[in-house]
Amino acid sequence: MTQDQTPKRIHPLIAIAAVSIILVSLVGVAAITGIIPHSNSTIAPANSLAADEANKEGNMPAMNAQSAANKADTRADAEARPKQ
């Protein structure tokens, strides 16, 4: 009596399911630890030190007007947002 030995391999659908669970878990860990930013994230100023020095010297009047407009927009957005 001989038995046919079939190689034991994982089914492709099981492999795909395992990979998808691992990827979803990694994305969840990244979101919890802060690697993936959330929707309420803020954009840091790109070159705030250089802009501050230029504002002190008065070399960039257009930048001052733009900064004031951005601050006004930010305040309006903050006031319009419901408190949590």
Which structural domain, as residue segments, surrounds residue 73? Answer: 12-36+47-80
Domains identified in the chain, total number: 1
Is residue 42 assigned to a domain?
no
pLDDT digits (tens, 9 = 90+) for 28-71: 999 999 898 777 756 666 666 666 665 665 555 555 555 666 66
Is residue 5 assigned to a domain?
no
Is residue 3 assigned to a domain?
no
pLDDT for 62: 52
pLDDT digits (tens, 9 = 90+) for 11-34: 999 999 999 999 999 999 999 998
The whole-angstrom separation of Cα 49 and Cα 67 is 14
The whole-angstrom separation of Cα 32 and Cα 51 is 34
Instruction: Please state the pTM of the whole predicted model.
Output: 0.40
According to DSSP, residue 43 is labeled P
For residues 1 and 47, the model is more confident at: 47
Helix residue spans in the chain (DSSP H): 12-33, 48-57, 61-80
Q: How far is CA 41 from CA 13, 16, 37, 59, in A?
A: 38, 33, 6, 31
Is residue 4 assigned to a domain?
no
